[in-house]
């Protein structure tokens, strides 16, 4: 009889691509991962891992068993979801992530509401960029992630995931109070051709979106500064170091010395929650989505 926890360990190595990654995802030591896999190899009588430089790779037998392990664990997840749904109780542990402004703008209200309504539910949360949140849900490290895309740059959701819209988040331009366009009722992106932009980190989804959007408006971006967090960007704007796109979610309080002006071309982010389809019936997932939607209704 194959041991479920050892199959879970093999699945984690296959998903993360390394023993150390599997250990981090499972919250155990690398030694424990190695021990579990050694026991599994003895159980099946075949080598499952082979050395690959400083790391490891799955053998043919390892890949075959890892494919079966993924399906078995999915069925176990589905069975647990069905049992939770039949019991109808919101209990156990729920692991959530959100990109920084959603963690700031939604999590405090949503998680406080969950704790009040469902004291038997233990929630763990962290900040992750959308791509990493989706990857965490796929790997099973997270139960639900709050992610985003933009009206003109959608983010594909992989098969096997379910998503629920939370809000459409409008975005404007933040500029120093002394900027020549600060007194306008609305502005056009093309009017910022000579300005330095304060943007997100290189390679991040929102940074790539901004570069794509500015270039589509005939503006070759001048990037002066990068910061992951909205309020760091706003601090740089307040110091007169450039302009930035500022969504409504997580915007407040706005520092002094900044003027926020709407764009003529309305920009919106779509914010939504994603989770695995095999966990769709879990009462805790449904409770979390309700709490996030309720928190989204208060954004403004």
Could you read off the pLDDT of 244-276 as tens digits, one per residue? 999 999 888 899 999 999 999 889 999 999 999
What is the rounded CA–CA span in Å between residue 236 and residue 240? Answer: 7
Asked if 46 and 56 count as a contact pair (C-beta separation under 8 A), the reply is no
- Tell whether the model's pLDDT for residue 81 goes beyond 70: no
For residue range 161-179, list pLDDT tens digits in order. Answer: 999 999 999 999 999 999 9
List beta partners, residue 122: 93
- Omega prior to 253 cis, within 30 of 0: yes
What is the rounded CA–CA span in Å between residue 69 and residue 12? Answer: 10
Q: Per mean pLDDT, which range of 39-48, 49-58, 59-68 is the poorest? A: 49-58
Task: Please name which of 286, 271, 280 lies closest in space to residue 104, comparing C-alpha atoms.
Answer: 271
For residue range 102-131, list pLDDT tens digits in order. Answer: 999 999 999 999 999 999 899 999 999 898
List beta partners, residue 98: 127, 146
- Tell whether the model's pLDDT for residue 145 goes beyond 90: yes
What is the rounded CA–CA span in Å between residue 228 and residue 115? Answer: 29
């Amino acid at each position: 009889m194959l041991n479920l926890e050892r199959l879970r360990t093999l699945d984690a190595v296959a998903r993360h691509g390394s023993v150390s990654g599997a250990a981090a995802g499972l919250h155990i030591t690398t030694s424990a991962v190695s021990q579990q896999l050694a026991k599994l190899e003895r159980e099946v009588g075949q080598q499952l891992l082979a050395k690959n430089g400083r790391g490891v790779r799955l053998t043919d037998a390892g890949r075959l068993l890892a494919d079966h392990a993924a399906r078995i664990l999915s069925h176990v997840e589905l069975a647990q979801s069905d049992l939770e749904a039949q019991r109808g109780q919101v209990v156990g542990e729920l692991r959530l992530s959100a990109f920084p402004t959603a963690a700031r703008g939604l999590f405090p209200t949503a998680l406080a509401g969950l704790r009040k309504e469902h004291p038997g539910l233990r929630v763990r949360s962290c900040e992750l960029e959308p791509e990493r949140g989706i990857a965490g849900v796929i790997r099973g490290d997270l139960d639900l992630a709050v992610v985003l895309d933009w009206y003109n740059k959608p983010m594909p959701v992989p098969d096997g995931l379910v998503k629920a819209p939370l809000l459409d988040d409008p975005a404007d331009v933040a500029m120093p109070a002394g900027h020549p366009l600060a007194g306008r009722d609305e502005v056009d992106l093309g009017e910022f051709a000579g300005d330095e932009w304060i943007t997100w980190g290189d390679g991040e989804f929102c940074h790539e979106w901004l570069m794509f959007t500015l270039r589509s408006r005939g503006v070759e971006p001048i990037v002066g500064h990068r910061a992951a967090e909205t309020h760091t960007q706003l601090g740089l704007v307040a110091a007169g170091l450039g302009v930035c796109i500022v969504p409504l979610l997580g915007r407040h309080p706005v520092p002094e010395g900044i003027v926020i002006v709407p764009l003529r071309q309305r920009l919106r982010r779509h914010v939504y929650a994603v989770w695995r389809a095999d966990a769709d019936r879990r009462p805790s997932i449904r409770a979390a989505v309700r709490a996030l939607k309720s928190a989204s209704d208060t954004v403004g």
